[in-house]
Structure 1
Amino acid sequence: MKLFLIMFVILFGFSYDKAYGKGSLDIDIKLKALNKPALKTIKSQDGDIIDCIDIYKQHAFDHPALKNHKIQMKPSIEFGEKKTNKIPNNGSSEQITSQIWSKSGDCPDGTIPVRRVSREDIRRASSPSQFGRKSPHRYNYLDNALHQRKGKFNFTAAKRNHSGPIFRSEAFIVALGFNFVGAKSDINVWSPPRVQPSDYSSAQTWLLGGVSSDKFESIEAGWMVNPGVFGDYRTRLFISWTKDGYKTTGCINLLCSGFVQTTKSFALGAVIEPVSSSSRTQYIITISVFLDPNTGNWWMPSGNNVLGYWPGTLFNSLKHSATAVQWGGEVHSPNILKKPHTVTSMGSGQWANYLYGEACYHTNLRIKDYSMQLKYPKYLNEYTDESNCYTTKLHRKTYMSEPRFYFGGPGRNRYCP
């Protein structure tokens, strides 16, 4: 009988792959892990399908470190967020407080909204195991960041000491020299032009930990356009994390287990609209990440909503604090630092020195260290991997005054062939 069952499984697997293509079984396994049974399904106007999943049966709890995790429904402390409504220059901006799918319905209490993943989504990845994952990266400056005072050192030289292939081009400012337990900013939302099918473009905040440049720990959040993952060129809310420089851990949104979602109002990976346009209203989202010192969990509040948290058990160094905070943007492409360079743009696609109404920006930047005071960062370093492709501009009225940061660029151009 056992022999018969073994032969049946082998023959079934062979005929299944023959009928549906190599890797179909792996895709089915991945789909089953990601698409949990829904208590309610919402068909969004933008084409997304949103499943309302039992909050206690979400994908997060498939992670081995969360096997016996007791869900924390809200932070144990107030994070001290206050809306400042400070806007660069005299332009107008508007906070985005909902997503398109919510116009078609809402999820019941006790559930979370999760964007359904399709077979076609996974097929676009190099393999089901790589779906939604970022490529390995390194931040050489982290090797020395803990030993610096207020971030005053040759950051550019430290950052450029790369080894191995590079698939990311970044433009950001970084705060160093403290133990950070929180950070936030307002980011204006754009639809960056010319994003290529194999690329993605993001505007985001990073909180980094660890003292190893190639095994850094990272929590990230912002907006991105990622046709490889989402199958379109729309701007979407995203988060990401890793424990080892994206070598083997972490992913975008809920495409691997880890992040615990608690809100029923926002869906990670869902479309953000409207987006900003040149010389018109700038639409912004507030990205915040704060450590709950009583639990070691990193929470992501946004306005009046709290999206959820990264459990402290996912990390080592980030259990206690972050070593660095970055604000800026990122382009991922196989055509970084090559000729011809990718035409994928960053931010709005305009240079940073175009400033308000034209360039992408982070404003109302805040950090929290162990003084537990929410304040703007005084000591900042600017960095860009490819200054002829993507630029930065740190704007302050006076030395050490409140920063506003602009970044972005067109990618390939006459100076970035």
Structure 2
Amino acid sequence: MLRWPAMRYKGWTIKTLLLRLLILSVDPTTEEIDNNLIVKTVQSADGQTFACVDFKSQPSLTHPLLKNHTRQPMLPVSFPDSTDGDKGPKFHISDVEMSNIDCPPGTVPILTSYNASMSPRCLDKIIGYKYNEIGNNKEYTQTAAFATVASTFYGLQSSISVWEPDLGTGKEPRFSGAMAIVENEGSRVAAGWSVDPYLYGDNQVHFEIAWVDNEKSCVNVRCAGFVQTSKKATPGIIIKPVSIINGKQYIIRVKIIKLLGAWILKVGEEIVGYWPSKLFSHMSESADRISWMGVAGAAPGDPFPPMGSGQPPDEGDAKSACFSDAKVIDASGRGVTLALNRVNTVVTAPKCFDVGRPTSTEDGGLQFYYGGTGCSPSLPIE
């Protein structure tokens, strides 16, 4: 495979960048839903259980900074330069924003059917940690990323191909996924997909979000922070259909944009909710870096599972996992395609996974392939 020569960030070495991406492990807190606040309990066709709770009673609003946050902002119906629209014959749209969860008006569905045996752990593993340790439990994460040079950003947009890699056998925790991340210093928000039996209790692909602020972290809405507004695109929900090698390629379209004092998350045509800016120590106004990454994690001594489709990036269309239509959001809310000298690739385990060279697409944005079959930890990790 012809490798793209590694570039340096202006003023940053790759080693320094990894220290930014692989931030310290932090313990999340988990909020349980008061049974007295549940208006209705529903089950999806995939067997997931959701609690329908009044918007003002959702667990996120128990955060000390959000206790007086009793109503949602006037969210825009559409965004400038949206990812909505026909993506052409190459891609098909997964139905994460089309789920039929029958919650009453004025309520939002909160996923409750997480793995019952789940113990406290680093739920923010998808932000790109290389090594986490919680008590006697250890986990390792490897990253294949495409990231920007430091600048000022107000969000991102991207189409993320959806795969359901076979994780094989191994000790928990064990996971694989793909995320788009907005960050500034110790503050981050992310959205994408994850296969994580330890968290979800199954081997299916789930829509997953996360946020981190210094020593605080959370995945989905298992703790206070993200304010959910959608009744359709619910964090943690199973995504269907998924891409098949040499078959149809399915994507989810993600947009994170700073508007109205919040980082608003949109998936497809559905506004999922928002992270209020007041949650973040370093991201109340803007971000300084954007990244798109595949991640894979395993317990010490276990081989890393496949990342993406399980195929290396040089397999290309219909075989390799990809991010496409990748843009950053400027101060006017417009999606901007970065020049190639303003982005870089980062691979923490090049003997296991890889990232292809980004290219500009005809319909705008950057596209790149990533992934790999995984590998044994006995192989040297560069």
TM tier, smaller: 0.7 to 0.9
Cα distance in structure 2, aligned partners of 1:176 and 1:414: 31
1:258-305 alpha-carbon deviations (Å, 9 max, x no partner): 00001111221010011110111111101110001x42x000012221
> Residue 45 of structure 1 contacts residue 100 of structure 1 at CA under 8 Å; is this kept in 2?
no
Counterpart CA distance in 2 for 1:238 and 1:42 is 20
Q: 2:91 aligns with which of 71, 90, 93?
A: 93
Equivalent residue number for residue 270 of structure 1: 237
Whole-angstrom CA distance in 1 between matches of 2:194 and 2:200: 10
1:238 is aligned to 2:205 = no
- 1:389 partner amino acid: C
Which whole-Å CA distance do the structure 1 matches of 2:149 and 2:320 have between them? 25
State the partner residue of 1:321.
286
Question: Are residues 1:115 and 2:106 paired?
Answer: no
| 1:334 alignment partner AA | A
* Conserved? CA contact 1:388–1:415, under 8 Å: no
**Is 2:267 the counterpart of 1:302?**
yes
Picking from 359, 368, 371, the partner of 2:329 is 368
Distance across 2 between alignment mates of 1:101 and 1:76: 21
Q: TM-score, normalised by structure 2?
A: 0.80
Judge conservation of contact 1:364–1:404 (CA < 8 Å) in 2. Answer: yes
* Corresponding residue of 2:276: 311
Equivalent residue for 1:60? 60
Report SS of the residue matched to 1:180: coil
Letter in 2 for 1:393: G
Identify if the C-alpha distance between structure 1 residues 34 and 231 changes in structure 2 by more than 3 Å, giving closer, same or farther: farther
Unaligned runs of 5+ in 1: 1-28, 140-164, 211-215
Q: Which residue identity is paired with 1:106?
A: D
Match of 2:176 among 201, 216, 234: 201
Residue 65 of structure 1 aligns with an amino acid whose one-letter code is L
Higher helix residue share: 1
- Give the alignment of 1:397-408 within 5 angstroms: 402-408=365-371
- Say whether residues 1:226 and 2:196 are aligned partners: yes
Counterpart in the other structure of 1:38: 38
Kept after mapping to 2: 8 A contact 1:192/1:349: yes
**Contact 1:84–1:364 (8 Å) recurs in 2:** no
What is the deviation of 1:390?
A: 0.8
Structure 1 counterpart of 2:157? 184
Task: Please give the secondary structure, in 2, of the residue aligned with 1:287.
Answer: strand
Letter in 1 for 2:285: H
**Aligned pairs (5 A) from 1:120-159:** 121-125=115-119, 127=120, 130=121, 132-134=123-125
1:226-252 CA deviation, whole Å, 9 max, x = no partner?
Answer: 1111111110000000101xxx31111
Write the letter of the residue equivalent to 1:310.
W
Change (3 A) 1:348 1:396: same
Q: Distance in 1 between matches of 2:303 and 2:274?
A: 34
- Match of residue 145 from structure 1: none
Match of 1:347 in 2: 308
| 1:377-414 C-alpha deviation (Å, 9 max, x unpaired) | 2221011001110110024269xx84211111111169
Normalised by the length of structure 1, the TM-score is 0.74
1:383 maps to a residue whose letter is V
> Cα offset for 1:137?
6.7
* CA deviation string 1:62-119 (max 9, x = no partner): 11111112432442685311436456xxx632112346862xx52221011111146x
Q: Shift in Å at residue 333 of structure 1?
A: 2.4
Give the Å deviation of 1:167.
2.2
Q: Name which of 389, 393, 414 aligns with 2:356.
A: 393
Q: Which residue of 2 aligns with 1:169?
A: 142
Q: CA deviation at 1:311?
A: 0.6
Number of equivalences: 338
Q: Quick check: 2:158–2:323 contact (8 Å CA) kept in 1?
A: yes
Query: What percentage of aligned pairs have identical amino acids?
Result: 27
Unmatched 5+ residue regions in structure 2?
Answer: 1-28, 131-137
Question: 1:190 deviation in Å?
Answer: 0.4
Q: Check conservation: 1:193, 1:348, Cα contact below 8 A.
A: no
Question: 1:204 is aligned with what amino acid?
Answer: M
Aligned mates of 1:240, 1:382 — CA distance in 2: 22
Kept in 1: contact 2:51–2:110 (CA 8 A)? yes
